[in-house]
Amino acid sequence: MATPHLAFVQRNPNPTRNTNTSTAPGSSSELSSGPVAAISIATFIFGIALALLCFWFCMNRRKHSAGGRSQRSFGANGLRGDKAEGIPTTSMAEQSLLDPIDDSTLKGTMAKLDNFIDQHVLGHYHEDQIQISTTQLAQAITDCNIKTSASSMPADEFARLLINPATRFHAIRRFIAWVILSNTNLDAQAAACLLPSFIVAFYNSFPPVERQAGCEEGTLLLSHSTHCAPILTDPLAFETALTNWKHISAFLLVENRTFREDPKLHESQIRAAIDQNVKWIHYVLAPFLTNSSKHSGEWEKNLRAIILAGAELGFTLFSQQSNWVFDWKAHSKSEAPVTVVFPALLEKAKGRTRLRIVSEAVLA
């Protein structure tokens, strides 16, 4: 502040005035005190303004620096994933997908399909005695190469029930239902699988999982890997991932997502698979067709409609966040022999290990 004062003293405010003019003692101090105070106040205000300007500049620079760090942090979190934020996101995603189907709807669908098959059998097959060997018929069943489960009936037993007029209709009902429902599974032969071909093709492109010699019990090795993969030791890991994939895929295939209903299956999407199922069923059951049905295409038209109905049921189950099992075992306390003509539907809910009965088996 001394510098502005010196400049003021050296500068003559009235250069035309005579420098020899006498002044009273102390008058110079009185004349300069007012301007000096003004200069001091102005300098003080200028200093405050300069300080505020520097403060604003520093804060602005710090904000840009923090923004850069935030962006870098976000990028890192995006790569490694934030568990705390991931849980709500997953929950919201699941809540916005397809609505779960209720048990009563599934029971009704299963009952309709069973009744559809029953009416088809009564209208197009006979109970007459025929000459055919059990071995020959069992081989025809085996030739279909349908993937069997623990509850499947052996081919020779199937053949005996088909040949016997007293049990033939029950056996035919079971055979038709078994072929159709077995082929609604992703593990069915690709040519006969009653799910959309693009879904089956993608599923079959998954790399196979193999067990490596030397790995500890329970560890798995991907076919293209070179080391044991402990992360895959949990048997539910792949099952959970597969269930989520199916549910999300079904949601993306829905034409109108407003109502969050399960996707619809069009006959054109599985026409080739329906042809294959008709071929297998006819290959085994042709000897039992009535003469009128042999010379009419009505039985095939009716059978194709049944297969499509079974495929729609399979696609509905595919879209749900559960795994499903068709149980062909007869859980009956009766000592008399019974035949399961239509299976029970069991649900293995997500995150659970026990199966739940949704629809009871139909016994005969």
3-state secondary structure of 340: strand
312 pLDDT more than 80: yes
Tell me the per-residue pLDDT of 61-71, one tens digit each, with 9 for 90 and over.
Answer: 655 554 544 44
Give the pLDDT score at 133.
96
Q: Is residue 18, in this structure, part of any structural domain at all?
A: no
Q: Is residue 289, in this structure, part of any structural domain at all?
A: yes
Number of domains in the chain: 1
Give the residue numbers spanning the domain of 125: 99-196+249-324
For 287, counting Cβ atoms within 10 Å of its Cβ (0-12 exposed, 13-18 middle, 19+ buried), the class is middle
Region 314-341: what's the mean pLDDT? 87
3-state secondary structure of 183: coil
* DSSP state string for 295-316: T-SHHHHHHHHHHHHHHHHHHH
Q: Is residue 180, in this structure, part of any structural domain at all?
A: yes
Region 317-344: what's the mean pLDDT? 87
323 pLDDT more than 70: yes
Percentage of the chain lying above the pLDDT 90 cut: 47
Q: Is residue 111, in this structure, part of any structural domain at all?
A: yes
**pLDDT higher at 138 or 54:** 138
Gap between the Cα atoms of 247 and 242, Å rounded: 9
Q: Is residue 38, in this structure, part of any structural domain at all?
A: no
3-state secondary structure of 220: strand
User: Does pTM top 0.75 for this prediction?
Assistant: no
Region 138-167: what's the mean pLDDT? 90
245 pLDDT more than 60: yes
Q: Is residue 46, in this structure, part of any structural domain at all?
A: no
Q: Is residue 260, in this structure, part of any structural domain at all?
A: yes
Q: Is residue 29, in this structure, part of any structural domain at all?
A: no
pLDDT confidence of 250, banded at 50, 70, 90? confident
